[in-house]
Structure 1
Amino acid sequence: MQKDYEKQYHDVETDHWWFKSRRDYLLDLIKNAPKDSKILDIGCSSGVFLKDAEKLGFAINNLYGIDISEQAIKNSKANGIKNSYVMDGQDITLTQKFDIIIASDCLEHLEHDSKALANWKTLLNKGGTMYVFVPAFMSLWSYHDDINMHYRRYTKAELKARFKEQNLKVVKSGYWNFFLFTPVFLFRKVSGKLKKDKSAVSDIAMGKSFVNTAMLNLLLLENKMLRLFSFPFGISTFCIAKKTEE
């Protein structure tokens, strides 16, 4: 991630509708897990998700985060996540094993995604669960992907295939941010927000407060709907998988 963009990311990650609504969905997915579960957030940034997990009742001493960015880990420690470390997501060297591993918009940053998943599997306890969110569809590729230094976007089938390669049992997969897919797709095509357009504005600009609130409420509604059924496409795709063997 480019340095100027990273600063902007840290400035908005707590309150921006995109990050806040995704955290809401992830927290809903793990809320019934035993509160002594050991959790690893890969690409933890400033530790905002882990702080939210603590508010849900998970023990702070069991919450771990890693990030490639020194500034992110500095922020994370300042936010009270003492078990946070600067590490490469393709080669995490923690000696602990975890009951829950979270990776939100991380895998697409790693050149060797299969190697990364193999590494993450070794960190997961038998019976543990991995939750991975990634950007969906190469047709949505834009300048946003360039400045984030993405290697790829995924379809649901492609992401599931990566998990099956590692003999991880997929228990749920789907698309997220369905409601905004069509306007985002059209906007990126019509406005020329493709990778050749180096003057484009970042997708994570905070915008007006009423817009942020409206977008957040829309995705919170979608999160509730995802409890009941899956959407056929979306801006992101996700996979939830269990480790069933050592």
Structure 2
Amino acid sequence: MHNYLDDSLPLSPVHSDYEATYHQIEEGHWWFQARRGMVFQLIQELQLPKSASILEIGCSGGPLLLALRQAGYTNLTGIDISAQGVQLAKQRGFEHVAVMDGAKLEFADASFDLVIASDVLEHIENENQALQEWKRVLRPGGQLIVFVPAFQFLWSSHDDVNQHFRRYSSQQLSTAIAHNGLQQQRLSYWNSLLFAPVALVRLLRKLLPGTEPSPSGDLQLLPAFLNTSLLSLLRTENRILRHLNLPVGVSVFALARKPA
């Protein structure tokens, strides 16, 4: 599930439909809510001052920025390749949001204390260019939070619809971070409690006769009780992640630091 559409490829009707669906349901969908909760938790654990300069790459319509603003953070910037998403964020009162390529940032060196990129890196063909740009705009000692989808064997039509270039193991993400001169501080899988059923479903789909990708990939509205149940499950996992890292999951995240 994405919040960044690669601008090197024109959106086909299927991807345009996906983008419209995305902006409609990202607020209440269990997966998006749980991931935002985990990112917010990581930010809070950094104990940054409320005046810290924060950049979200792939901000979409701004739900994470909104949560940060409500928590008292005052220096928030967002970018996204989706003009529709950026317009929605502006309607929410965010002035410092813009349509921009996540691998070609239009910011000065050392502009931010924290850069957040949730499900962005897999959409960018040249991961080193992206990570170098993210490091460039960080101040010395600044922090980077990166989430990506995990395990190439979980590749499905959902990844095709999302225009992914790759999925990552924890080792691959760790290697990419180190290769680009960032100091890894934390590495863990996420969405571990649902890893087994997700893996089973995706592997079974590969054994069935080929089906065309849905315009919405795996992005589906669920009955309210099921949405609430899945959200509660992942919120429990988020609490577990306050104390330990997990060895497997549908996603993987890293916290890294630019050397002082």
Normalising by structure 1, we get a TM-score of 0.95
Aligned to 1:76: 89
How far residue 190 of structure 1 moved from its aligned partner, in angstroms, is 1.5
Match of 1:54 among 49, 55, 69: 69
Instruction: Kindly indicate whether the alpha-carbon contact (under 8 Å) linking 1:143 and 1:193 is maintained by their aligned counterparts in 2.
Output: no
5 Å-filtered alignment, 1:63-212, equals 63-95=76-108, 97-192=111-206, 197-200=211-214, 202-212=217-227
Equivalent pairs, count: 243
Aligned to 1:34: 49
How far residue 73 of structure 1 moved from its aligned partner, in angstroms, is 0.8
- Give structure 2 stretches of 5+ with no counterpart: 6-14
Counterparts of 1:137 and 1:35 in 2: how far apart (Å)? 35
Match of 1:237 among 252, 255, 258: 252
How far residue 112 of structure 1 moved from its aligned partner, in angstroms, is 0.4
Counterparts of 1:240 and 1:230 in 2: how far apart (Å)? 12
Match of 1:16 among 29, 34, 37: 29
Counterparts of 2:199 and 2:122 in 1: how far apart (Å)? 19
- Give structure 1 stretches of 5+ with no counterpart: none
How far residue 199 of structure 1 moved from its aligned partner, in angstroms, is 4.5
Instruction: Kindly indicate whether the alpha-carbon contact (under 8 Å) linking 2:158 and 2:213 is maintained by their aligned counterparts in 1.
Output: no
Counterparts of 1:113 and 1:79 in 2: how far apart (Å)? 31
Deviant stretches of 4+, over 4 Å: none
Identity %: 42
Q: Helix, strand or coil: the match of 1:20?
A: helix
The answer to which of 170-179 and 76-85 deviates more is: 76-85
Instruction: Kindly indicate whether the alpha-carbon contact (under 8 Å) linking 1:41 and 1:101 is maintained by their aligned counterparts in 2.
Output: yes
Aligned to 2:9: none
Q: Helix, strand or coil: the match of 2:253?
A: strand
Question: Residues 200-240 of structure 1: CA distance to partner in whole angstroms, max 9, x if unpaired?
Answer: 46212121111100000000000000111111110000110
Q: Helix, strand or coil: the match of 1:134?
A: strand
The answer to which of 185-194 and 139-148 deviates more is: 185-194
Counterparts of 1:199 and 1:28 in 2: how far apart (Å)? 33
Residues 215 and 193 of structure 1: CA distance in aligned 2, closer, same or farther (over 3 Å):
farther
Counterparts of 1:202 and 1:209 in 2: how far apart (Å)? 20
The answer to which of 42-51 and 199-208 deviates more is: 199-208
Counterparts of 1:206 and 1:129 in 2: how far apart (Å)? 34
Question: Residues 165-190 of structure 1: CA distance to partner in whole angstroms, max 9, x if unpaired?
Answer: 11111000110000111100111121
Normalising by structure 2, we get a TM-score of 0.90
How far residue 95 of structure 1 moved from its aligned partner, in angstroms, is 2.8
CA RMSD of aligned residues (A): 1.6
Q: Helix, strand or coil: the match of 1:191?
A: helix
Counterparts of 1:79 and 1:150 in 2: how far apart (Å)? 29
